[in-house]
Structure 1
Amino acid sequence: MKAFLNSLEWVLMRAAAVFFVGFVVCIFLQLLSRYVPGITILWAAEIATYAFIWTVFLGAAVMVRHQEHFKIDYLYEKLAGLPLLLTKLVSHVLIGAFGAAMVVYGSKLTHLFWEWTVNTLPELQQGYLWLVLPVSGFAMLAFAIGNTVEDIGAHSLKKESDAA
């Protein structure tokens, strides 16, 4: 499972980097379009928006993998042993449920908006924007499951080493 999660993270990070580069390039093209006479690029704003959204959602999924998502550090620092494990497990279940909801409802939204097009670029379907929801939701769910397994394993090992 760890190899799968490592591969998934690797793919997500590379994809996020590609989308981020696309975002920066489109912003640069927008600047050229505004300040250089004779250059008109209408679609750059739409592509920049899509790329930014994909970058953020893919990055959020990777943050779940590293458990750097929203959490109350104060609580994590004060707890130890079984109470800390239970707190982490509740967090993983909530994040996993959120990821599952993103997969289910994101798939419905993707299907609903698949045929809609962007005004400035009619060749681009809006479904590609909404596709980020099930993709990142699946990754969040997978990472939450992986974090759960890892935390339970670490707690069991610590318990065994304390007993020895």
Structure 2
Amino acid sequence: MILLGKAYQTINRVLEKFMVIIFSLLIVDVLAQVFSRYLLSYSPSFTEEFARFSLIWLSLLGMAYLTGQREHLTMDYVYQKFSEQNKKKATIFIESIIILFATVVMLIGGGNLVYITLDLGQLSSALQIPLGYVYMVVPVSGLLIVFYSIHNISKVS
């Protein structure tokens, strides 16, 4: 339990810093795009693609982070009507469903997507980087969601 708590804090710190870096790069990239387009009448092709990939990474990692903070979007009107015992049962059930989804869709499905795109050698059009590296965020986010859901269950039990 203590080890899980320390891992939780470490992963949070690393993820927070990584997302700040991604967001900072996204801001610099978009500002450079606007500057070059309107002041230099030239628009580098890689800036749009980098912004898209950064937003994908930021969104999926942010989703995992919010799962860990229990701040993801919920409709909890009915949940708030439950007794404390039923709230615990509902939380365990919900987190188990989240683990199942993250494992099947994000870890297994995302892992297959990464493997196939790397195996086929697909490259992004402007940056010429393997698309498997871009898609790598799907299984990574899935793994983080599974970890955070296990942590959330351990806090309830």
TM-score, with structure 1 as normaliser: 0.86
1:72-87 counterparts in 2 under 5 A? 72-87=75-90
Deviation at 1:140, TM superposition (A): 0.2
RMSD: 1.3
Residue in 2 aligned with 1:37? Answer: 40
1:44-55 counterparts in 2 under 5 A? 44-55=47-58
Matched, 1:116 2:119: no
Matched, 1:18 2:37: no
Q: Distance in 2 between matches of 1:129 and 1:121?
A: 11
Deviation at 1:40, TM superposition (A): 3.7
Unaligned runs of 5+ in 2: none
Query: In the TM superposition, what whole-angstrom CA distance separates every residue of 1:68-98 from its partner, at most 9, and x where no partner exists?
Result: 2232221232112221111111110111112
Alignment-mate amino acid for residue 112 of structure 2? K
When Rg is computed on C-alpha atoms for both structures, the one with the higher figure is 1
Alignment-mate amino acid for residue 126 of structure 2? T
SS at match of 1:117: coil
Question: How many pairs does the alignment contain?
Answer: 151
Residue 90 (structure 1) aligned to one of 89, 93, 100: 93
> Does the aligned pair in 2 maintain the 1:110–1:131 contact within 8 Å?
yes
Residue 125 (structure 1) aligned to one of 121, 130, 151: 130
The structure that is strand-richer by fraction is 1
Unaligned runs of 5+ in 1: 153-164
Q: Distance in 1 between matches of 2:59 and 2:71?
A: 14
Aligned residues with identical type, % of pairs = 24
Q: Distance in 1 between matches of 2:55 and 2:80?
A: 34
Q: Distance in 2 between matches of 1:40 and 1:34?
A: 5
- Deviating more after overlay: 98-107 vs 31-40: 31-40
